[in-house]
Amino acid sequence: MTGWPAAAVLWVHSALALAAFGTVVVVRVRVCWGANPGAPGETLEFAYVRGGSRLVLFTCLAELHRNGLVRTAAKWDGGGVVPVRRRPVPADAPALDSAVVDALPRYRRVPDLLDDKEVAGNVGGIGMRLVRRGWLISAATQSRMRWYALPGWLVAVWCLIQFGLTVPHFAEAGRPGQAVGLLGLGVFLAIGTYLVIDVPPATRAGRVALRRARAELRAHERTASPADVIAVGGEDEFWRADAVFAQAAGGVPDELGPMPHLMTHRGDRQRGRLRRG
């Protein structure tokens, strides 16, 4: 397109970039919208929406600890959390409670509990239920986002190619502005597409349901259980409730770090993997 006027080249590529970026944004909105924000939810479901599988297990352990079913192990015994002997899990308790109590003798901390098949199966079942309800985005959909972003990637690459083709004609009138404009469009579109397809695990409907649960909890704060507070408040609430038990369970304080507004969803997931390590 070096034979076209510089202004025409920039207008054409600006229109392409806007159309591609708009397509990616529309896809993200549709993927993240979700469904059933007013549906009732359980404590462990809100914990999954708020903090994923880790927070589900911390919430479960907090409830088990409140009911006297688990305790902090002595340091000479290896530390961690262990079940209290001769205290069976009630029959009407969630299936995850029994799975966690059975797994604790082998895996004493939350990061390791996720390696137990029974525990992982129960936690995964909660996640699948929330995906079907419309509160979570499935892992398959999140992985497909890079394919949904193809319009953005392709137009960004095309702009950068056109920038490279313009450089040899830099001495011609108008071409320096064209080159800078094409480079800016390509870089902006590439970065913008990368950020847009970084979708959060929870849908908009799931976040609305979580905010509703948080508001209801504030209205009944005096009667709320520690598990309910942790489920909607996050891992920091687990530490506020009992720092010694939280440390034994494998929690990490200061969940979001000093600058949470700079964290991306990929960064949050990476931090979670580092914690489990």
- Round to whole Å and give the CA distance between 191 and 237: 35
Least confident among 37-41, 246-250, 270-274: 270-274
Residues 24, 198, 208: CA angle, nearest 5 degrees: 95
pLDDT in the model for residue 197: 87
pLDDT in tens, 90-117: 888 889 999 999 999 898 888 889 899 9
Q: How many CB atoms lie within 10 A of CB 45?
A: 24
- Going by pLDDT thresholds of 50, 70 and 90, the confidence category of residue 253 is low
CA dihedral 124, 138, 264, 242 (to 10 degrees): -20
Q: Which residues pair with 82 in a beta bridge?
A: 71
Q: Which pLDDT belongs to residue 260?
A: 40
Give the tens place of pLDDT for each residue, 180-215.
888 999 999 999 999 888 888 899 999 999 999 999
Q: What is the pTM of this model?
A: 0.79
Mean pLDDT across the stretch 249-264?
A: 52
Q: What is the 3-state secondary structure (H, E, C) of the chain?
A: CCCCCHHHHHHHHHHHHHHHHHHHHHHHHHHHHCCCCCCCCCHHHHHHHHHHHHHHHHHHHHHHHHCCCEEECCHHHCCCEEECCCCCCCCCCCHHHHHHHHHCCCCCCHHHHCCCHHHHHHHHHHHHHHHHHCCECCHHHHHHHHHHCHHHHHHHHHHHHHHHHHHHHCCCCCHHHHHHHHHHHHHHHHHHHHHHCCCCCECHHHHHHHHHHHHHHHHCHHHCCHHHHHHHHCHHHHHHHCHHHHHHHCCCCCCCCCCHHHCCHHHHHHHHHHHHC
75-89 pLDDT, tens per residue?
Answer: 777 778 888 887 788
pLDDT for position 1: 53
